Amino acid sequence: MTTHTTFATTTRGLRRDLPAMRLFEKAKRYGVWNPSEIDFRQDRADWLRLNALEQEVLLHLTSLFQAGEEAVTGDILPLMLAVSREGRIEEEMYLTTFLFEEAKHTDFFRRFLDEVAGVREDLSRFTTPSYQAIVYEALPAAMHRLLDDPAPAAQVRAAVTYNMIVEGVLAETGYHAYLTALERNGLMPGQCQGIRLLKQDESRHIAYGIFLISRLIAADDALWEVAEATMNELLAPALGVVGDLFTAYPVMPFGLDESAFTDYAIDQFQKRLARIERARGATLEDVQRDALEG
Ligand code: MN
Ligand code: FE2
């Protein structure tokens, strides 16, 4: 598009009843927490009292979160462009908060690495083949394909990879387990506060992904197969990320338990899949009403 022929806001107005505008309102209220204001003083004192294995495991997990947040910050742009080119101003407005929040999450973890862990070294040694398959390969491939092919099938593949697998399974599982471990051991109050805020942001991101996938499936039922195939294709590497972590540490500190991680991940996966399947045979109005009800 090289010229504008019309503007939504000077013709039909903004559709404030759309799910994306409801999410935009929530994001303006809850998504504005500032990572720079998190108090890490107790976290630093806690860090210095951890043993070498405990520090290594926290560093390992944090490095995966850090790289993942940078990946989702960088890789959301092609989806924003695809949505914008379709003239969906309400969805684009919401997505500006999405990108802002991912940038804040990237900022947040780097503060932890700098100020709590005090690390300067390269952390890529914590990357494993399963993590690489999703975060280094599947995610950017699905997202950047939209630049050349913004068709609905490519959008479904992108949103399933990004919102359902990377956010809905990997991040949800990782943050849940990490937060539980820290809280159970009374550690790192600043990090816990940040993760709780970040999880709220992520729940809006996942809600948008569910809405987008559902909107696309409701318009064309053949897209359900694309969604299901993408989910199934990425389940093994997603569970592999958990498996690789536990393989690396025969004795895991903080009471971290592999089956608790794996069960949570599988449960998230099944919930997401069942949720988007509800769009089959639904109308656009059904999908919008469903999204507003959460
Ligand atoms: Mn994030
Ligand atoms: Fe996110």
67-79 pLDDT per residue, tens: 999 999 999 999 9
Q: What is the pLDDT of residue 1?
A: 57
pLDDT band at 136 (very low <50, low <70, confident <90, very high): very high
Instruction: Kindly report the number of other CB atoms within 10 A of residue 184's CB atom.
Output: 11
- pLDDT per position as a tens digit, 209-266: 999 999 999 999 999 999 999 999 999 999 999 999 999 998 999 999 899 889 999 9
Backbone region of residue 122 per phi and psi (left: phi > 0; alpha: psi in -120 to 50; beta: other values):
beta
CB within 5 A of ion ligand 2: which residues?
Answer: 167, 202, 205
Neighbours of ion ligand 1 (CB under 5 A): 102, 105
φ, ψ for residue 187, nearest 5 deg = -110, 155
CA–CA separation, 240 and 233 (whole Å): 12
**Distance between Cα 83 and ligand 1 center (Å):** 20
- 52 Cα to the center of ligand 2, angstroms: 31
| Ligand in nearest proximity to the CA of 205 | 2
> Percent helix, strand, coil in the chain (nearest 5)?
80, 0, 20
Packing angle of the helix pair 189-219, 284-293 (nearest 10 deg): 160
Q: What pLDDT does 260 receive?
A: 85
For 264-286, what is the mean pLDDT?
A: 96
One-letter amino acid for residue 14 of the chain: L
Alpha carbon distances (Å) from 132 to 64, 127, 278: 10, 7, 31
| Spacing, Cα 248 to ligand 2 middle (Å) | 27
pLDDT of amino acid 170: 96
The C-alpha atoms of residue 89 and residue 17 are separated, in whole angstroms, by 13
- pTM equals 0.96
The 3-class SS string of 193-208 reads HHHHHHHHHHHHHHHH
Confidence band of 142 (pLDDT split at 50, 70, 90): very high
> Inter-axis angle of helices 89-111 and 19-30, to 10 degrees?
30
**Helices 172-184 and 258-277 meet at what angle, rounded to 10?**
140
CA distances from 86 to 8, 80, 81, 104, 233 (A): 12, 10, 9, 27, 28
Confidence band for 194, pLDDT divided at 50, 70 and 90: very high
Confidence grade of residue 268 (pLDDT, cut at 50, 70, 90): very high
Burial class (CB in 10 A: 0-12, 13-18, 19+), 186: exposed
Mean of per-residue pLDDT scores for the chain = 96
Q: Rounded CA gap, 132 and 217, in Å?
A: 29
3 C-alpha vs ligand 2 centroid, how far in Å? 32
